[in-house]
Chains A and B, each alone.
Chain A
Amino acid sequence: DQQVKQNSPSLSVQEGRISILNCDYTNSMFDYFLWYKKYPAEGPTFLISISSIKDKNEDGRFTVFLNKSAKHLSLHIVPSQPGDSAVYFCAATVIIQGAQKLVFGQGTRLTINP
């Protein structure tokens, strides 16, 4: 039962254009949604998050949009830069037994072409 889904395994975008990464979820109990970026041989790096009571959060070139009725969120990167090439994981938090659990999507490999 995959509660967080990223249906696009890969995405290729030209440098300077907008990158849009998508994520769908099924569990209405998730209270926060996060995006992590991962380079090979490194741990995931936190990028940006959004509370389930918000619909948009912006931080520099990164904006996350949440559509609760559609159970969908997206990450927009504008403008895209070569250093943005990495695997991006969507994740969601839920409280279980008083502790926070982070559930990850399968990841989307973003490639920024010069």
Chain B
Amino acid sequence: DTEVTQTPKHLVMGMTNKKSLKCEQHMGHRAMYWYKQKAKKPPELMFVYSYEKLSINESVPSRFSPECPNSSLLNLHLHALQPEDSALYLCASSLRGHIQYFGAGTRLSVL
């Protein structure tokens, strides 16, 4: 089982809204990741959590706020986003090795 579950699948929000993206895995993986993917572009790393601690923040604007409440759950809190933040947001997890397993993503539209 290599399932990473992301909710919601689609999200439309205004620039003044606050919303959250959720990611869950029950594979015992201790590293979890957020990526952003724009159309016709590769996924770009945003954040890495290792053992529930933030290890990497790729200079992401503060309107994106990650949270790792426990080893199975990863959230991405969104506030005051801009239309250019519209993208596919992907979550991934990995055990100790080099293979990251991705969820299906949340398609976000900011109006």
Residue positions of A touching B, CB distance < 8 A: 31-32, 34, 36, 41-46, 49, 89, 93, 96-107
Contacts and interface: CB of A to CB of B under 8 A. Distances in A.
Contacts, number: 64
- Counting chain B residues whose Cβ lies within 8 A of the other chain, the interface size class is 20 to 34
B55 A106 contact: no
Contacts of A96: 56
B98 A100 contact: yes
Nearest to B58: A101
Given A31-B98, A43-B90, A106-B42, A97 B55 contact: yes
Contacts of A103: 45
B7 interface: no
A48 B53 CA distance: 28
Q: Identify the 3 closest CB pairs spanning chains A and B, nearest first.
A: A43-B102, A104-B42, A99-B55
A93 to B, nearest CB: 5
Interface of B: 2, 4, 6, 31, 33, 40-45, 48, 50, 55-56, 90, 92, 94, 98-105, 107
B42 A107 contact: yes
B94 A100 contact: yes
A43 B94 CA distance: 15
A100 B48 contact: yes
